[in-house]
A and B are shown apart, each in its own frame.
Chain A
Amino acid sequence: MEAFTTHTGRAVPLRRGNVDTDQIIPAHWLKKVTRNGFEDGLFEAWRKDPSFVLNAPEYKGATVLVAGPDFGTGSSREHAVWALQNYGFKAVISSRYADIFRGNSLKNGLLTVVLPQETVEALWKLVEADPTTEVTVDLVAREVRAEGVTAPFELDDNARWRLLEGLDDISLTLGNEADIAAYEARRPSYKPSTVQV
């Protein structure tokens, strides 16, 4: 995984709540067997509408997505995270995320920051008034900064450390091989097995 320390970039205001992963990347894109090439599928249906915010030339090249509450609900598709990253987003800001989406994002190095809705609102106003506004998402200081906004955010130490170091979860877990083997040895025999009978 790519490490995340701090990022500064322009931001897109997505004034919508409950953005589900079917909107982020529609199902027909899920037939691909790679982790890349999803950028054109990002918000595909909405992008057909010329007035959709991502189509506005002033937000081209923005790398921070500021979204409404309950971002990433619905399907567990990690493709939603890949699509956001493939398109160029490094961080998402929202007041609330669906659990699976949040987990997926942090495993891929897409930083999902939780800020109160008032701060989201303030950021929306800021980047709507001036699309060239830069927003800094600083994981080291656990802080989001923009003109007139300094907002601390929380992320548990373990998740933060993995992101800062760009650590691969699987290698970390395999470091605990002895614990896994010990658990397996004491597992009851009545537990199900998929071996064909």
Chain B
Amino acid sequence: MGRTLAEKVWDDHVVRRAEGEPDLLFIDLHLLHEVTSPQAFDGLRMNGRVVRRTDLTIATEDHNTPTLDIDKPIADPVSRTQLETLRKNCAEFGVRLHPLGDIEQGVVHVVGPQLGLTQPGTTVVCGDSHTSTHGAFGALAFGIGTSQVEHVLATQTLPMAPFRTMAVTVDGELPDGVTAKDLILAVIARIGTGGGQGYVIEYRGTAIEKLSMEARMTVCNMSIEAGARAGMIAPDRTTFDYLEGRVHAPTGEDWDAAVAYWKTLRTDEDAVFDHEVRIDAAELAPFVTWGTNPGQGAPLSASVPDPASFADPSDRLAAEKALEYMGLSAGQPLREVAVDTVFVGSCTNGRIEDLRAAASVVEGRKVADGVRMLVVPGSVRVALQAVEEGLDQVFTAAGAEWRHAGCSMCLGMNPDQLAPGERSASTSNRNFEGRQGKGGRTHLVSPQVAAATAVAGRLASPADLSDVPAPAEV
């Protein structure tokens, strides 16, 4: 019987297979950041261990880093200690680090791909659940806990329990104005936040093949929000073109050998998935969340659902609690929900294409009165590219704040937070209670919807902006 893409990559990384034991897998790339690594380095020190493969390890600072005044010492002493701990650990153990202020600094999942480190057929891990992002390249990439970070540092391997395979096939043409973010939010709403548990999801079908690398990263990024171990997309010409010429991409004969291998990384015709989901791209629409988990979403044109309409009692209870927390009532049209904050950024939607998309909507328009719009590029490289294209000017002219790269309001570990009761439209990936700040309320949206919402002051898509002043003719 044929094998799926995920099974092929897995098989190519088995260091040891023994009856009654989990497979021991080799890890090609280990990404580190300040939050989940300090206790792992402590563990190494306590046991007198070293980092086995510093040449397969790289660190950056993202979760805690401020997005303003980055040349000044970090005001929060606890954040400062954590960053200093990472610097000290990387120096002591010989790990390459891109700290705040460095040109390669940024959200870890933006940095890996842009350096060309994330490649098809590799295993990628990081102490961060959104490591699934890297699966967009046909890598088997998953988030791990701190004990596993320590394990990979010490051994460059991980014992891994077997996974099941799921195919999410999206065929057809995405309608105008519908993005990768809308697609993945719709997938999560369909299969639920636990629907992917134990699975590696492979996204396939004609609509997926047409996506750019950046859009593919958006899709794979949120696999974890469906509970999946990882998300993957088979590498193709789009993947190879993205990688060619990047700093860490192979060159010369190595490039040819790599591409020859990468081309084998497709699910065999006769392979069988444990579970299959089919979605018609033409039926998708701009999608927003109304609740406090990423599965609680609906098309923007819909209304807040009535909890009583959920058949499952625990879904009903969850919906009731969510509406209470979100300050919404059943039947309220989503387009009438007013926000006070808009966040464009994160490892889901903080890449250059995302910024271009948001900029094209706000260009020549103004952020609505009383709305704060924060634009946080995913990395310094993304920021520089945006400045080169003048996007920063577009944002500031519209009244948005142009910030320095980092995770920022995606999780509010730095000063960028919602105040209690504040409501945001956010291009990030989690709308959990308090995720963006204690008492903050989050609606997950695409960059286009975020930008249109900033202009309208309420949840909106670019198509809804006809009633607000149109962009000036140029």
**Chain A residues proximal to chain B, CB less than 8 Å:** 16-18, 20, 22-23, 26-28, 30-35, 45, 68-70, 73-79, 81, 96, 98-100, 103-104, 107-108, 156-158, 169-170, 173-174, 176, 179-180, 182-184, 187-197
Residues in A neighbouring B147, C-beta threshold 8 A: 78, 104, 107-108, 169
Closest chain B residue, CB of each to CB of A197: B247
- B441 shortest CB reach to chain A, Å: 13
Contact status A33-B38, CB under 8 Å: yes
The answer on a CB contact under 8 Å between A31 and B117 is no
Q: Are A74 and B430 in contact (CB under 8 A)?
A: yes
Nearest CB in chain A to that of B18: its residue: A176
What is the distance, in angstroms, from A145's C-beta to the closest C-beta of chain B? 25
* Count of residues in B whose CB is under 8 Å from the partner chain: 84
**Whole-angstrom distance between the alpha carbons of A196 and B248 in the complex?**
9
Complexed CA–CA distance, A31 and B75 (Å): 13
12 sampled A-B residue pairs with Cβ under 8 A: A30-B413, A31-B82, A32-B82, A74-B432, A76-B129, A77-B145, A78-B145, A99-B198, A100-B143, A104-B148, A107-B147, A189-B254
The one of B54, B76, B82, B145 that contacts A103, using a Cβ cutoff of 8 Å: B145
Docked complex Cα distance between A185 and B28 (Å)? 13
Question: Which of B155-163, B231-239, B281-289, B377-385 faces chain A?
Answer: B155-163
Nearest to A77 among chain B residues (CB) is B36
Beyond the given A20-B432, A30-B63, please list 9 additional residue pairs across the A-B interface where CB-CB is below 8 A.
A16-B321, A18-B194, A30-B36, A30-B413, A32-B78, A35-B39, A45-B433, A176-B16, A196-B96
Given contacts A30-B63, A188-B261, A194-B56, are A18 and B193 in contact (CB under 8 A)? Answer: yes
Q: Chain B contacts of A98 at CB under 8 A?
A: 194, 197, 227
Cβ-based interface call for B461 (8 A): no
Residue numbers in B under 8 Å from A189 (CB-CB): 254, 257
Given A76-B36, A173-B151, A81 and B261 contact (CB-CB distance below 8 Å): no
Complex contact B29–A69 (CB within 8 A) = no
Interface contact B434-A76, CB-CB below 8 Å: no
**Pair A170/B150 contact, Cβ less than 8 Å:** yes
Question: A70 with B227: in contact, given A188-B257, A190-B255, A193-B56 (CB under 8 Å)?
Answer: yes
Q: Which residue of B lies closest to A181 (CB)?
A: B15
- The interface residues of chain A lying within 8 Å CB-to-CB of B35 are 30-31, 77
**8 Å CB contact of A194 from B55, B129, B430:** B55
- Name the residue of chain A whose CB is nearest to the CB of B413: A27
Which has the most chain B C-beta neighbours within 10 Å: A20, A194, A195? A194
Q: How far is the CB of A161 from chain B (nearest CB, A)?
A: 9
A193:B55 contact, CB within 8 angstroms? yes
Residue from the list A22, A76, A77, A170 in contact with B432, Cβ < 8 A: A22
Which residues of chain A come closer than 8 Å to B54, judged between CB atoms?
A: 194
Chain A, Cβ-Cβ closest to B13? A183
- B24 sits at the interface (CB 8 A): yes
**Cβ–Cβ contact B155 & A194, under 8 A:** no
Separation of A26 and B36 alpha carbons in the complex (Å): 14
- Contact status A75-B129, CB under 8 Å: yes
Q: What separation, in Å, do the CA atoms of A78 and B149 have in the docked complex? A: 10
Q: Mark B135-175, 1 if CB is under 8 A from A, else 0.
A: 00000000111111011001111010100000000000000
> Known contacts being A104-B147, A190-B261, A197-B248, is A31 close to B29, with CB within 8 Å?
no
A190-B254 CB under 8 A given contacts A17-B314, A76-B127, A197-B247: yes
Contacts of B469 in A (CB 8 A): none
8 Å CB contact of A22 from B254, B314, B434: B434
A81 to B146: give the CA distance in the assembly, Å.
11
Say yes or no: B194 contacts A76, CB within 8 Å: no
Cβ of B333 within 8 Å of any chain A Cβ, yes or no, is no
Contact B145 A169 (CB under 8 A): no
| Interchain CB contact under 8 A, A194 and B57 | yes
Across the interface, B21 reaches (CB within 8 A) one of A158, A183, A193, namely A158
Provide the bound-state CA to CA distance between A26 and B43, in Å. Answer: 24
**A17 nearest in chain B by CB position:** B314
Q: Do A27 and B411 touch (CB < 8 A)?
A: yes
A197 to B79, CA, bound (A): 31
With A30-B35, A180-B15, A191-B28: A173-B314 Cβ-Cβ less than 8 Å: no
Q: Judging by beta carbons under 8 Å apart, are B194 and A73 in contact?
A: yes
Q: State the CA gap A27–B440 with chains docked (Å).
A: 13
Query: Given the complex of chains A and B, what is the CA–CA distance between A164 and B148 in angstroms?
Result: 19
Residues of A within 8 A of B159 (CB): 169, 173
With a cutoff of 8 Å between Cβ atoms, the chain B residues found around residue A23 in the complex are: 432-434
- Is B146 a contact of A78 with CB atoms below 8 Å? yes
Within 8 A of A (CB), among B245-267: 247-250, 254-255, 257-258, 261
Say yes or no for B73: interface residue by CB 8 A criterion.
no
Q: A174 — which chain B residues lie within 8 A by C-beta?
A: 154-155
Residue B395 lies at the interface, judged by CB distance under 8 Å to chain A: no
Out of B24, B85, B127, B151, which one reaches A176, CB within 8 Å?
A: B24
